[in-house]
Structure 1
Amino acid sequence: MSSYADLLRTRGVARIIAAQLTARFPFGMLSLAFLLHIEHTWDSYGVAGLVLAALSIGQAIAGPLTSRLMGRLGIRPVIVVTMIVCALGIATIALVRLPVPAAMAVAFVAGLATPPVQPAVRTIYPKLVNSRQLTPLFSLDASAQEIIWVLGPVIATVAATQVSTVAGILLAVAFLVVGGTWFVASPEVGRVRIPRSRRKLGVVLKKPAVLLATIVGFLLIAACAAIEAGVVATFGEGGVEAGLVLAVFSIGSLVGGLSFGHRPIGPWALALRMGVVFVGTALAALWLNVWWIGALLFLAGVGIAPALAVMFAIVSSSVKFSDTAEAYGWVGTGQLIGAAVGSAVAGFLIDGVGPTGAFVAAAGIALIGFLVPALGRRWHPDLRGREAGPIPDTEPVTVTS
């Protein structure tokens, strides 16, 4: 733990972590807040699903595009403009009763304008700390983001049920604006300029480590989404057990990230962490008892934040600094698509065979998530004794004689 204490004492690290978590916090609230508001407004979960799908599609498309724009226009202008557009779109859905197609269009635009805070901050990290501290910093970041998924749904539910569904959404907008403003006002953001990439959009995916992180991130988040659907189907949407089990799942990830995230990253690192997720999920599927599921999902969660930290580190070490934001944008897009696919697969299986089907699906996806990095370990950078920072950009220098 001393390595994390040293990190937080490093100038700017605690501030930038807190600011980016606040800016990203609304996205732990919005799914549930939109679900409650739209179901209340239209009396239809189907309409809520369509609006949320439009939001997710917009976010998935935006990932690499807005991240790449930061190299052309700068971090602050891109985040400020996208923050304003996203906040207006979300507020419109809360305050104006629109026809369903119009609500979907507004949600799509809001998703497309999701501020690229996550790619930005992971591009900034190598400029804040030395190479020895970078892997623990990625782990601390992956662990800290569990706060979003533990507290976000709780705050959204309390605001929506105790005040109004409109209040729940507007509270998310407030977090977005305050957190985004805090982030762009941070001096660390102003000190970093992302060089303009000379490559075409998508070329960064030819880097084996980036493609590996994108695929495994897709599988990891798909498994997590299937687990969440299975837990809700097992204990009911309003059951306190579902909330407690999902909280334990996230706490397991937090514990795992803080306990193991600082370990050296070898070629088997990602496969081993995904193996922990698979074992916990597979065992949880054997008995749908709250104590059994809670204990085994805690075990599964122990592998999540360390796996994410490995993905961030191998991406950072494999691309030029000018390509890091776009690379993280692709990884984020893979995770968003994974969340949609995992939820959809689990939903069909829940309807067909019951909640057990969702856990079996999650275990199957996690198994593939273990096999992919195990079989592709030769494309996994060995960072033991190596720097995890990005490759410096170089360009011709004119010499006068």
Structure 2
Amino acid sequence: MRAYVGVLGTPGAWRFLVPGICARLPYAMLQIGTLLLVEWATGSYGWGGLAAAAAAVAQALAAPQTGRLADRHGQRAVLYPQTAVHVAALGALLVAAQTGLTPGWLVALSALAGATMPQVGSMVRARWAHLLPPGSVSTAFAVEAVTDDLMFTLAPIVLIAAATGASPVWALTGALVLVAFGTLMFATVRTGRPAPVPVPSTGGTRVLGLRGVGVVAGALLGVGTVFGALQVAVTSYTEQLGDPGAAGTIYGTFSAGSLVGGLVFGALRLKGKAPRRLAFLMWALSAALLLPPLASSTGPLYAAAGAAGLIVAPALITGYTVLDGLAPAHVKTEAYTWLTGATGMGIATGAALGGQLADRFGPETAFLLPPVTVALAAALVVWRRASLTAPAAPVTETVGLDHSTKFSMNRR
């Protein structure tokens, strides 16, 4: 655990980590929260699913724009107005759900709430990249992957418990309070905050057009489909087996496997090139995802889900590590939000396609979607692996710029 002690012992890190966790819990609540709220208001899971998908897609598309603004104007300058707009949008959705507004308006407000969700997770990663030397960044990304796993495991439990005990309105109201408090507290912390870099007169950098960035985003889009498709496949399969209550704990086993895999992977001092490691992990994940379709009962499905989960977090960590070597310091936040958005788009795509497959051909077919999409993403990484290694000169220049900025910030 020495690697984690070193990273988490970074002076001032806990000052932005704690409010960052508070702000990120609602991030994992929004999609299922809008589904429950709109279904509660309309009596239709169809409209609820459409609202949840609208929130997820809008969030994925808007996240990189938020990251670009944060790189250019600073995190605090973006988070204050964005939090205000998000609170207004989510508040309007809550009011609209109780006043009988038409379902189309509920879907539109859900999309607005998703588009304005503060991207605190990417900003936390940008602070780690700004504070730490390159050799420790991978461990910090492991911390973030484990945090995300915890958020996406705990958030549905907390939200569904609140929705069941009271109503979806009260559940999302709690999420609104958390995101407002956590984001505003995070924005006030100066530790690790990268200095804004104004747009040069020749125009800004098109991050998605940078060497290798699109390839990494494509890889993580493939990983995202695993989350969305497995949720649908496990739910429909356990219902077919006559044990629908097992769905939550089976998916929780998958999340627990990811958490353990991320913790172990982040503590390792691995040699070799990260792009090659990413390709290997993607192929390994695709192979592991062939296990759930072979399960004939819930018992083997627990084991298969846990085994597949062990590789998910290492793949995500490696994706962020590869990107860290490709993106210049002044666009890192935007670069990380492209990966967050790609993963979110993958979750929405996996859920939509998995649902169609489960309805038309049965849950066993839905289980086959993740290994296929991850294998395609692995093939993309292998095909474009040469683009995942940045040229030597720009990397040296970028690292120098990053650390000079860091020392300047420390002196201030």
Task: State whether TM-score is above 0.5.
Answer: yes
Q: Does the aligned pair in 2 maintain the 1:256–1:302 contact within 8 Å?
A: yes
Deviations 1:173-231 (A, max 9, x none): 12211211221122315x42131344756722232331121000111101221111101
Amino acid at match of 1:196: P
With normalisation by structure 2, the TM-score equals: 0.88
1:287 matched to which residue of 2?
Answer: 295
Q: Map 1:86-97; keep pairs closer than 5 Å.
A: 86-96=86-96, 97=99
**Offset at 1:337?**
1.7
2:59 matched to which residue of 1?
Answer: 59
Instruction: Note if 1:227 corresponds to 2:230.
Output: yes
1:184 matched to which residue of 2?
Answer: 187
**Offset at 1:161?**
0.3
Amino acid at match of 1:239: P
Q: Does the aligned pair in 1 maintain the 2:211–2:390 contact within 8 Å?
A: no
Q: Does the aligned pair in 1 maintain the 2:31–2:56 contact within 8 Å?
A: no
Among candidates 123, 126, 132, match of residue 126 of structure 2 = 123
Change (3 A) 1:381 1:16: farther
Amino acid at match of 2:374: A
1:368 matched to which residue of 2?
Answer: 376
Q: Which runs of 5+ in 2 are unaligned?
A: 403-412
**Offset at 1:236?**
3.8
Amino acid at match of 1:251: A
**Offset at 1:276?**
2.8
Instruction: Note if 1:254 corresponds to 2:256.
Output: no
Q: Map 1:123-272; keep pairs closer than 5 Å.
A: 123-188=126-191, 191-198=193-200, 203-236=206-239, 239-261=244-266, 262-264=268-270, 266=273, 267-272=275-280
For 1:31 and 1:388, the matched residues in 2 are separated by 40
**Offset at 1:75?**
0.8
Instruction: Note if 1:310 corresponds to 2:321.
Output: no
Change (3 A) 1:388 1:2: farther
> What is the RMSD of the two structures over their aligned residues, measured on CA atoms?
2.4
Q: Does the aligned pair in 1 maintain the 2:19–2:182 contact within 8 Å?
A: yes
Deviations 1:225-257 (A, max 9, x none): 111110111124993311111111111111111
Among candidates 381, 387, 395, match of residue 379 of structure 1 = 387
Q: Does the aligned pair in 2 maintain the 1:195–1:321 contact within 8 Å?
A: no
Deviations 1:31-68 (A, max 9, x none): 22222221121100111122222212321221111111
With normalisation by structure 1, the TM-score equals: 0.91
Q: Does the aligned pair in 2 maintain the 1:316–1:388 contact within 8 Å?
A: no
For 1:2 and 1:51, the matched residues in 2 are separated by 44
Q: Does the aligned pair in 2 maintain the 1:288–1:356 contact within 8 Å?
A: no
Amino acid at match of 1:125: W
Q: Which runs of 5+ in 1 are unaligned?
A: 395-401
Q: Does the aligned pair in 2 maintain the 1:63–1:329 contact within 8 Å?
A: yes
Amino acid at match of 2:255: S
Instruction: Note if 1:329 corresponds to 2:331.
Output: no
Q: Does the aligned pair in 1 maintain the 2:38–2:106 contact within 8 Å?
A: no
Amino acid at match of 2:245: V
Partner secondary structure for residue 326 of structure 2: coil
1:340 matched to which residue of 2?
Answer: 348
Q: Does the aligned pair in 1 maintain the 2:30–2:55 contact within 8 Å?
A: no
**Offset at 1:393?**
4.8
Q: In the comparison of the two structures, how many residue pairs are matched?
A: 390
For 1:165 and 1:111, the matched residues in 2 are separated by 17
**Offset at 1:131?**
2.5
Change (3 A) 1:382 1:30: same
For 2:296 and 2:330, the matched residues in 1 are separated by 48
Instruction: Note if 1:77 corresponds to 2:77.
Output: yes
Partner secondary structure for residue 208 of structure 1: coil
Range 233-242 or range 256-265, more displaced = 233-242
